Amino acid sequence: MKFIAAFMLLCVSLGAEADLFPQGNATTGQKLFAQLRCDSCHMNMYGGDGGAIFTRANRKVHNAPQLLAQIGVCGGNVDQEFSTQEKENIAAYLNRYYNFK
Ligand code: HEC
């Protein structure tokens, strides 16, 4: 039963990613995020793995365009000018926190 629920959840979340970030690849985005140490500042600010910055009550990002924009802004923090593809990859990954549909 648990497995079926998890599987359905996976299908739903994969579907959502596909719609919002049509070119986004969450696995590639996760690698890039780790490689660039995107979480370094967020960890200093919020502790743990830094993921709390994406789920905090007063978070900045409330929809998909804002997420893509913030990824662009934060790219500057790691001296990167992301392509649309790279932004979509990272957005597809970070949508595990935001769950935009
Ligand atoms: C130099 C420090 C620093 C680095 C490195 C950094 N960030 Fe951030 N990030 C911040 C700060 C500060 C905020 C909060 C901005 C605010 O509240 O106005 C933030 C917020 C965010 C948010 C929005 C969170 C919310 O409130 O919803 C996202 C998404 C994000 N960062 C993605 C990234 C990505 C992707 C990278 C790597 C490319 C990255 N960040 C690297 C400092 C950093």
- pLDDT at position 33 is 98
Q: Which of 58, 66, 74, 57 is nearest to 95 (CA)?
A: 66
For the cut 70, the answer to whether the pLDDT of residue 20 exceeds it is yes
Average pLDDT, the chain: 89
Residue 63 CA, ligand 1 centroid: distance in Å:
15
Q: Taking the domains of the chain in order of start, what are their residue ranges? A: 2-98
The residue whose CA is least distant from atom 38 of ligand 1 is 75
Gap between the Cα atoms of 31 and 86, Å rounded: 11
Q: What is the pLDDT of residues 34-73, one digit of tens each?
A: 999 999 999 999 999 999 999 999 999 999 999 999 999 9
Distance (Å) of CA 17 to CA 12, 38, 44, 55 = 9, 21, 28, 18
Residue 19 CA, ligand 1 centroid: distance in Å:
24
Total-model pTM: 0.86
- pLDDT at position 59 is 97
Q: Which atom of ligand 1 is nearest to 62's Cα?
A: 27
What percent of the chain stands above pLDDT 70?
82
- pLDDT at position 19 is 72
Residue 24 CA, ligand 1 centroid: distance in Å:
19
